[in-house]
Chains A and B, each alone.
Chain A
Amino acid sequence: MSLINLAFKKTKNEKRPALLTYTVAGDNSKKKSLDILISIANYADICEIGFPHNTPIADGGQIQSSAYRALKNGIKIKDVFSIVKDFKKSKQAKPVILMGYYNMIYQYGDNNFINICKKVGVDGLIVVDLPYPENKDFAKKCKKKDISFIQLVSPTTSPNRMKKIIRDSHDMVYYISMLSTTGGKLKVSPKKILERYNKIKNLNRNKNIVIGFGITEKTIASLRKADGLVVGSALCKEISKSIKKRQNPVTNVTNIVKRLRNKIA
């Protein structure tokens, strides 16, 4: 069983949703981002790691700031891989999902990128601007290497399309809670989000479906019926805040993740 599936199995046994975190590799330095990951992994079930791009078309201000900071620090894709590798040295069983935009993968070469992902221990990939069905070939290549390609579905995904995406999906599907970039304020009621979520879930109860976008300490408890919940912008925002206040982002971000975890325990 894949590490991602194992993580969901464990949280289901504990009768709680999985907590997924998203932070940007290299924010605010290579070492700090690794320290943050290792520290929050004590409370998070799955760690999503962003590889920063300077033209992100679906990210809000918080994640953009993180990405620009990382790029300004000179982070390269090889650094992202080495962060994953180092992370896995101390947290072998913790699933890692890399998330980013397709151009960076494309420049690296699909196969090359996937091979290195495999080598350093990446468990899953989310490619924001490679939608279904354009991602079919790429998803197949991932599957061959036992890397989960994570499909995204959104409130605008038609029922027919939803069926096809779920059918072709791997270990996990990411449901975008609302029409928004990352980090937007939750503008749909949790009840409505869960209603839509259940419709997707009913297409195949065996698929792990996580909800992301707009999830913060305030909103997370209301969505705890989901298989998993992703928090990203709130963490990136905390890093920005910590830097501004000259505080240690490792401690501050860890505290948020700890609190998030308590809210869904």
Chain B
Amino acid sequence: MMKLKKKIPLIDQHDKSGFWGGKFGGNFIPETLKKPVEDLTNLFEKLRYDKKFLKQRDYYFKNYIGSPTSFIKLQNLSEHLKGAQIYAKMVSEANGGAHKIYNATVHCLIAKKAGKKYVVGDTGAGYAGKMLSMAAKKFGLKCKIFMGAKDIKRQKPNVDAMKKNGAEVVPVYSGSQTLVDAVSECMRYWVSNCDNTHMCVGSTVGPNIFVKICGWSTAQISRELKIQIQSELKKIPKKVKLINCVGGGSSAYGFWSEFMDYDKKQIELIGVEAGGPKNSKLHAAPLTNGAKLGILHGAAAYVCQNSEGQINDTASISAGLDYPGVSPIHCFLKDTKRARYTSATDEDALNAYKLVTKLEKINPSLEPCHAFAEAINIAPKLSKDTIIIVNSCGDAKKDRDILKARLGKIN
């Protein structure tokens, strides 16, 4: 039976071939990428135990990203829902407005160490791209971002930011013109340019090493949170629910990683996928809907696909969650039952946005609004001594056009 190990970071609980639980992850890559992936793996394994590198990482996390991001109680929302006490980890305060900056910063630091002059990345909501372009500028790297043509239209503020940071934004017109195609195109670009270019995968997806680097980077979120809970609430409470949206799953992994070893009765991990438009068959929720194991972008994971193995179209109001696959790590967490996965529809997310922004002075993007939707859904049924913490991992500035179109006005 599949089992989680204690006291070992989840990112390291894979076998020699790179599989978690014997079947999730791995390296399904073209031969040309074997060497660059191996080089990157060796470099990362060296750097992560290198004191000087860790000092550098911590320096930039603190002085560039602005760690720690705050941990706040949503008093009005809690009172309104009359159940569990609701808190938020305001990761959206990080430089750039979302958790993607952690992975982007670490990738740029690694690219520098590898002597690469160029860095390329994929983006859906545009946050991964925006952050990579920011970090690239900061560290003097030339940057190219691949983004689906449909996403370029719907996440314009982030596209503008990328361009302002000097990055070239390459529109991807193939397939569904969203994140899935952007990742494919980015990998294709890397196949052709891996001699001088570093690739950053924007989430805990892709070949094994990219899952690891991303998870290692976002783990900062739960390192901070653990300290903050202890200082705010004196100790880790008896009933905690950590709710996070899941697209690729990078913010959820980062939000949960320090709490893996706790019993799930004490700390429950709840992942919320994108259920897509209400009454639509399309969604981006492979875990919730029992999608079959398949291979996408170099890794084996549950993926929305047809019986032939063609990848399905997805739909979500939130570009950041609009992805047919999911991290192998979340597949592993699902099958070991350490985490529970559910989904929220576009409408649920919009309603959550309305309620949260009405009651609280925060402005979560549509991605974390999926997590807020689940919090709003379960909080009234829970006891007053239950603590819900939502990772508010993105800021809604990028969503202004969508929110305006769907809600008429924005806060």
**In contact, B188 and A103 (Cβ under 8 angstroms):** no
- Closest CB-CB distance, B209 to chain A, in whole Å? 14
A152 at the B interface (CB under 8 A) = yes
Footprint of A on B, CB under 8 Å? Answer: 17, 26-36, 174-175, 180-181, 184, 187-188, 191-195, 292, 294-298, 305, 307-311
Interface contact B294-A60, CB-CB below 8 Å: no
Q: Tell me, in angstroms, the Cα distance from A195 to B187 when the chains sit together.
A: 28
- A55-B180 contact given A64-B174, A131-B30, A181-B188, CB 8 Å threshold: yes
Chain A residues contacting B297 (CB-CB under 8 Å) are 55, 57
Q: Which 7 A-B pairs have the closest CB atoms?
A: A107-B309, A156-B35, A104-B309, A103-B295, A103-B309, A154-B32, A58-B30
In contact, B296 and A129 (Cβ under 8 angstroms): no
Given contacts A58-B187, A156-B194, A179-B194, 12 further A-B contacts (CB under 8 A): A54-B310, A54-B311, A55-B180, A55-B311, A57-B29, A58-B30, A59-B188, A68-B174, A101-B295, A129-B30, A131-B34, A156-B34
- Given known pairs A180-B192, A181-B191, the reply for A57 and B298 (CB within 8 Å) is yes
Residues of A within 8 A of B (CB): 53-60, 64, 68, 71, 76-77, 101-108, 128-132, 134, 152-158, 161, 176, 179-181, 184
Would you call A103 and B296 a contact (CB within 8 A)? yes
For the complex formed, measure the closest distance between the CB of B234 and the CB atoms of chain A, giving whole angstroms. 49
Most B CB contacts (10 A, CB to CB) among A60, A131, A157 go to: A131
Q: List 14 A-B contacts (CB under 8 A).
A: A55-B297, A58-B32, A76-B308, A101-B295, A102-B28, A103-B295, A103-B305, A104-B310, A106-B309, A108-B309, A131-B31, A132-B31, A156-B194, A179-B32
Which residue, of A54, A64, A153, A155, has the highest number of chain B Cβ atoms within 10 A?
A54
Q: Are the C-beta atoms of A55 and B175 separated by less than 8 Å?
A: yes
Q: How many whole Å from B190's CB to the nearest CB in chain A?
A: 9
Cβ of A158: which chain B residues have Cβ within 8 Å of it?
35
Closest to A56 in B: B184
Q: Which residues of A contact B188 (CB under 8 A)?
A: 57-60, 181
* Residue in B closest to A71 when the chains form the complex, CB atoms: B310
- B36 engages A156 (CB within 8 Å): yes
Report which of A59, A105, A157 forms a contact with B34, defined as CB distance below 8 A. A157
- CB nearest to B33 among chain A residues: A156
